Amino acid sequence: MKGLAIAGLSVLMALIAAPPALAHALLRQSEPPDGAALDAPPDRIVITFTEEPEPALSLIKVVDSSGREVATGPVRTVAGQPLNLQLQLAPLPKGIYTVTWRTVSRVDGHVTGGAFAFGIGIVPAGTTPQPAAPPPSVLDVVARWIFYVGLSALIGAAWVSTVAFPTMPSRVGRVLSAGWLVSLLGLAVLVESQRADAGATFGQLLSTGIGRALAWRAGALAVAGAALAVASRVPPARRRAALIAAACCGLAAIFAHVMAGHAGASAGAWRWAKVLIQWAHMSTAAIWLGGLLALLIGLRGGSGSENAAAVKRFSSVAGVALGVVIATGAARAIDQVGSWTLLVSTAFGRLVLVKSAFLLALAGLGAVNRYRHVPRAPHSLPGLRKVATIELAIAAAVFAVTGLLTSIAPANLLEAASRPTPLVVTGSDFGTTVRARLEVTPGTPGINAFALRLADYDSGRPITAQRVSLRFMPLDRSGIGSSTLQLAATADGAFEGRGSNLSIEGRWQVVVTVERGVNSVEIPLTVALRTPPPVVETIREPGLPTLYIVKLPAASIQIYLDPERPGPTSVHVTFLDPAGNELPVSALAVTAASPRSGPTALKVIRFGAGHFAAEGTLPSGEVQLQITASLAAEQLRTSLPIRL
């Protein structure tokens, strides 16, 4: 048993220390998109998330290339679109702007954040890293584990008291009380964990949808406590109804918990089916594993015939419960993972594999008890107790893995959020009869997917066309001919295609030709391709600061920190041309941001033509450095993630 406990603890710590996954309210898209080049300033920022965000605990800020905050304020949802948050903007001048956002999921209270950039009259160089989030909170995982264990003990003991034993043993009554108290403790720790992650006061948290979801769980536990109080004061003959009420309240608390998790955040016609499947999965696991704990404790001191009857009754129901747990767990895994690749390539998928292995071990041990030790129960119980004790140790690990699974994003949700943001350009023909919106994904040199939407200029209704094509001409390079790509209609006003016509970085003119019978119109658009993510070389030498070399198409940037630790430090930045000479940089801006705070501008000191130091105080953990430099005819911009 000691070795098993150590092994289970090792697995839990390895899972907690696994690479962090993104939290749940992930950025699905934004308007303007990341890397957009706009001719006119936008009147607002709109961010669409994969789960409903909590506006009262969310933040959107806009800073210019010097790190100066140019827009912040109350964040609101878009009417009729609860997944969207918006921030109204005053007119912005020409320049490059970085949008930093931080949000708390209204469904499960998890925090995530990130940044993206757009330009007004200027094309942003490089790309912005994907949204980042703190790794799963140890406090959050522990809170969920305590909550699951307590609820399972409460529900399982209530069931065993009413079904397995003719009268409730006093020891099982103590399991009931302990389960109720432990579940209350877990809920209290969960409240504190979500309050700390959101950076809110208790009053702010309780006034949000997250707080109301916690209140529903607390209400169910309060009624369960009242039922247990009644059960402790009435004669045994009248105790059954109170115990059933306590078990039902525990099941209601599980339902409220499921509604505040992945299943509750689902969208579409199958949402309630997913909720019920997840509820059945957790409820039957509580009946089975919590009941096993109560059974083992209740068997102490009972008569041989009474114990044998209790074991037989429990075994019959436990077999059905195990089947339900496995079937519902498989259904939820298929929904949340979706593919074999994601099962092994994501933290969520690997946790599902670990949990599946534990459940298979439990099934094997249950079979040993069912077919070897249950028939011997009238004469001997030591073998059953030994195997059941091992089952409970594994069950504790299963609850820990479950806590981790609810603290990170499902694999399929993470895949959807990590899809590249398309470049979006809009325009109309000179006769103002047709509006066009062209999305280019991923918007870098090479093969791209093109999605075109055409609408009537005045009414906005989709238009049909016999033939639609795109003609590509580079604007920054001479001697390269044009190419054409035919698009296929996919719906009214919707056309798609795929090709490598945008093969060179820079600006391209894309002319949309719309043929409608004998008439045709041309819509000129300008697409500025994103620069592919820079290559970063890291050099570490004993006794020296880590040197980061960011390789851009026309230059390289050497970066190191002195001292290389949280707190006051200097970020040294040197710009070099391909020959190794310092570039004449006229201006430099450096900002630092972490998942829990917005960007902070560092004080820049010039040492030479291309050598600078940016001074400031950096936090511990993940830090994102944003570097923007102005040369005579261009702007260099890059991001560098570091850990202190």
Residue 631 has pLDDT above 50, yes or no: yes
Cross-sheet strand order for the sheet of 556-562:
535-539, 547-551, 556-562, 567-576, 611-618, 603-606
What's the rounded mean pLDDT across residues 287-298?
A: 87
Helix (H, G, I), strand (E, B) or coil at 330: helix
Q: Could you give the CA distance from residue 200 to residue 169 in angstroms, rounded to a whole number?
A: 45
User: Does residue 511 sit within a domain?
Assistant: yes
Question: How high is the mean pLDDT of the chain?
Answer: 80
User: Does residue 382 sit within a domain?
Assistant: yes
Last residue of a domain, one of 380, 415, 450: 415
Q: Which of 126, 130, 129 is nearest to 35 (CA)?
A: 126
Q: Check whether residue 490 and residue 510 sit in a common domain.
A: yes
Last residue of a domain, one of 394, 415, 436: 415
Residue 248 has pLDDT above 90, yes or no: yes
Q: Check whether residue 400 and residue 351 sit in a common domain.
A: yes
User: How wide is the angle at C-alpha 216 spanned by C-alphas 210 and 218, nearest 5°?
Assistant: 105
Instruction: Provide the terminal-to-terminal Cα distance of the chain, rounded to the nearest Å.
Output: 39
User: Does residue 615 sit within a domain?
Assistant: yes
Q: Check whether residue 85 and residue 161 sit in a common domain.
A: no
Last residue of a domain, one of 359, 381, 415: 415
User: Does residue 287 sit within a domain?
Assistant: yes
Q: pLDDT band at 268, cuts 50/70/90?
A: low
Q: What tokens does 121 get?
A: 């009259």
Give the model's pLDDT for residue 553: 65
What's the rounded mean pLDDT across residues 509-534?
A: 83
CATH code (residue 583): 2.60.40.1930
Cis ω for the linkage preceding 32 (within 30 of 0): yes
Q: Could you give the CA distance from residue 191 to residue 399 in angstroms, rounded to a whole number?
A: 19
Residue 222 has pLDDT above 70, yes or no: yes
CB 257 within 8 A of CB 217: yes
Q: Could you give the CA distance from residue 63 to residue 600 in angstroms, rounded to a whole number?
A: 10
Q: Could you give the CA distance from residue 577 to residue 554 in angstroms, rounded to a whole number?
A: 7
The domain in which residue 171 lies consists of: 138-415
CB 422 within 8 A of CB 510: no
CATH code (residue 331): 1.20.1630
Q: pLDDT band at 412, cuts 50/70/90?
A: low
Residue 154 has pLDDT above 90, yes or no: yes
CB 72 within 8 A of CB 60: yes
Give the model's pLDDT for residue 265: 63
Bridge partner list, 105: 53
**Region of poorest pLDDT, from 155-169, 178-192, 480-494:** 155-169
Give the model's pLDDT for residue 38: 78
CA 517 to chain centre: 48
Q: Check whether residue 144 and residue 112 sit in a common domain.
A: no
Q: Check whether residue 148 and residue 81 sit in a common domain.
A: no
Give the model's pLDDT for residue 298: 83
Contacts of 23 (CB under 8 A, 6+ apart): 105, 110, 111, 112, 133, 134, 408, 409
CB 53 within 8 A of CB 60: no
Q: Check whether residue 549 and residue 492 sit in a common domain.
A: no
What's the rounded mean pLDDT across residues 307-314?
A: 81
User: Does residue 163 sit within a domain?
Assistant: yes
- Say how many C-beta atoms besides its own lie within 10 A of residue 559's C-beta: 22
Question: Of 175-189, 472-486, 550-564, which one has max mean pLDDT?
Answer: 175-189
181-193, pLDDT tens digit by residue?
A: 999 999 999 888 8
Q: Check whether residue 544 and residue 517 sit in a common domain.
A: no
CATH code (residue 45): 2.60.40.1220
User: How wide is the angle at C-alpha 595 spanned by C-alphas 257 and 111, nearest 5°?
Assistant: 10
Q: Check whether residue 549 and residue 576 sit in a common domain.
A: yes
**Region of poorest pLDDT, from 212-216, 334-338, 582-586:** 334-338
Q: Check whether residue 291 and residue 359 sit in a common domain.
A: yes
Q: Which of 289, 404, 304 is nearest to 355 (CA)?
A: 404
Give the model's pLDDT for residue 595: 67
Residue 354 has pLDDT above 70, yes or no: yes
Q: What tokens does 260 get?
A: 């505040």
Residue 133 has pLDDT above 60, yes or no: no
Phi and psi based region of residue 398 (left: phi greater than 0; alpha: psi -120 to 50; beta: remaining): alpha
Residue 528 has pLDDT above 90, yes or no: no
User: Does residue 133 sit within a domain?
Assistant: no
Length of the chain: 644
Cis ω for the linkage preceding 563 (within 30 of 0): yes
- The tally of domains found in the chain comes to 4
User: Does residue 39 sit within a domain?
Assistant: yes
Q: Could you give the CA distance from residue 74 to residue 95 in angstroms, rounded to a whole number?
A: 24
1-37, pLDDT tens digit by residue?
A: 444 443 443 433 333 333 333 344 567 778 887 767 7
The DSSP secondary structure of 529-559, one letter per residue, reads: PPPPPPEEEEE--TTS--EEEEE-SS-EEEE
454-471, pLDDT tens digit by residue?
A: 999 988 899 989 899 999
Q: Check whether residue 261 and residue 329 sit in a common domain.
A: yes
Residue 496 has pLDDT above 70, yes or no: yes
Q: Check whether residue 67 and residue 190 sit in a common domain.
A: no
**Region of poorest pLDDT, from 254-263, 318-327, 526-535:** 526-535
Q: Check whether residue 121 and residue 8 sit in a common domain.
A: yes
CA 334 to chain centre: 18
User: Does residue 131 sit within a domain?
Assistant: no
Between 116 and 157, residue with greater pLDDT:
157
45-70, pLDDT tens digit by residue?
A: 998 887 788 888 888 888 876 667 88
Beta strands (DSSP E) in 50-186 are 59-64, 69-71, 76-78, 81-88, 95-104, 111-120
As a dihedral over the C-alpha atoms of residue 338, residue 341, residue 347, residue 349, rounded to 10 degrees, the angle is 40
CATH code (residue 512): 2.60.40.10
Bridge partner list, 30: 47
Q: Which of 439, 491, 444, 499 is nearest to 471 (CA)?
A: 499
Q: Could you give the CA distance from residue 47 to residue 387 in angstroms, rounded to a whole number?
A: 53
Q: pLDDT band at 438, cuts 50/70/90?
A: very high
Spell 440-459 as b/e; 16+ CB within 10 A means b: bbbbbbeebebbbbbbeeee
What's the rounded mean pLDDT across residues 323-327?
A: 89
Give the model's pLDDT for residue 250: 92
